[in-house]
Structure 1
Amino acid sequence: MPRTEVDPRYGDPDAPATPWPVAERALSSAELYRLTTVRPDGRPHVTPLIAVWHTDALHFCTGADERKARNLTANPRVVLTTGDNALHGGLDVVVEGVAVRVADEAGLRVLAAEWESKYGPEWRFEVVEGGFANPHGTALVFRVEPTTAFGFAKSPYSQTRYRF
């Protein structure tokens, strides 16, 4: 379990910390995430994508020639965000970590099953050497274990930091 703390500067001073299991459920059940990587020239790059929460980490995939994959080659540090697009309710979660490539066949098979279970047969992936089959080549799969995460509750407002 991560160390949890509330920063009273960013919300109701009496708001409790959002428990990690609540943030973890939000990470697990979200359908869409935003991935932020850093371009070689230092500019940020943000893109929406789907992901799965499995064994205490978020997993996403991308084509080897896509901007985000090229960015990760130079700098594997990322931020993944998800949440509710509402001002007065819900929970937004931000995960900071390092994207590590998953290339072992057994791990890829488990993750392919996770994607299909969560998103349905439209997202059935065939495991090939080093990733998932993709019409344009191989989709690389990455694992991001949180190093730090934040939960932004919006009723009442609060900011909880999770340190791993």
Structure 2
Amino acid sequence: MDPHTTPAPTPRTSLDARYSDPKATALPWSDAADRLAAAEVFWLTTVRPDGRPHVTPLIAVWSEGALHFCTGPDERKARNLAENPSVVLTTGSSVLDEGLDLVVEGAAAAVRDEDRLRALAEAYVEKYGPDWRFDVRDGAFVGDGGTAVVFAVAPRTVFGFAKGDPFGQTRWRF
């Protein structure tokens, strides 16, 4: 198995019948994990110090059971995370009748281990190409845009919204 797509621990899986077609079944976690690994764009929601939400698109890699993203230490999302690590990451399709939208709830934790950061830097290049090459120095990514803190979000709860026939809402709890 590829080390960058190691699945998270096996979650409790349920289908919410209130939001699902009668013929829908709960999706296996492996389907969601594969989609998290393959998704190119995510929307990150953090909480500002005054309680207002902050949402921004970004790229992320799925590795060792967590989504990983990076941001400059002075950017709004990094400042928000310093006060409140709770986040939501979403990915999916803007098409109404097909695909699977995923909502990942968890807490962002800074990754400082340089061996782990080097593996993540390789994962960024592998997924997004050489324009996303980072060096690792002083517990952070360093690239053309400066220093970036790397965060890991291990899912607490993930919601999957299957669109089309049948539509359904699967919940995975960790």
TM-score interval, smaller chain: over 0.9
Identity of aligned residues (%): 63
Q: TM-score, normalised by structure 2?
A: 0.92
Q: TM-score, normalised by structure 1?
A: 0.97
1:158 equivalent to 2:159? Answer no
Q: Which residue of 2 aligns with 1:129?
A: 138
Q: Distance in 2 between matches of 1:17 and 1:84?
A: 19
Q: 1:47 aligns with which of 35, 49, 56?
A: 56
Using the TM superposition, give the Cα deviation of residue 11 of structure 1 relative to its aligned residue in structure 2, in angstroms.
2.1
Using the TM superposition, give the Cα deviation of residue 134 of structure 1 relative to its aligned residue in structure 2, in angstroms.
3.9
Using the TM superposition, give the Cα deviation of residue 128 of structure 1 relative to its aligned residue in structure 2, in angstroms.
1.2
Describe the SS at the equivalent of 2:127.
helix
Q: 1:5 aligns with which of 14, 27, 32?
A: 14
User: Any unmatched runs of 5+ in structure 1?
Assistant: none
Q: Distance in 1 between matches of 2:159 and 2:145?
A: 35
Aligned positions, number: 164
1:32 equivalent to 2:32? Answer no
Once the two structures are superposed, the pairs formed by residues 40-119 of structure 1 within 5 Å of their partners are 40-119=49-128
Q: 1:98 touches 1:145 (CA, 8 Å); kept in 2?
A: yes
Describe the SS at the equivalent of 1:69.
helix
Moved runs in structure 1, 4+ residues, more than 3 A? 134-137
Q: Distance in 2 between matches of 1:134 and 1:67?
A: 19
Using the TM superposition, give the Cα deviation of residue 13 of structure 1 relative to its aligned residue in structure 2, in angstroms.
2.2
Q: Distance in 1 between matches of 2:145 and 2:159?
A: 35
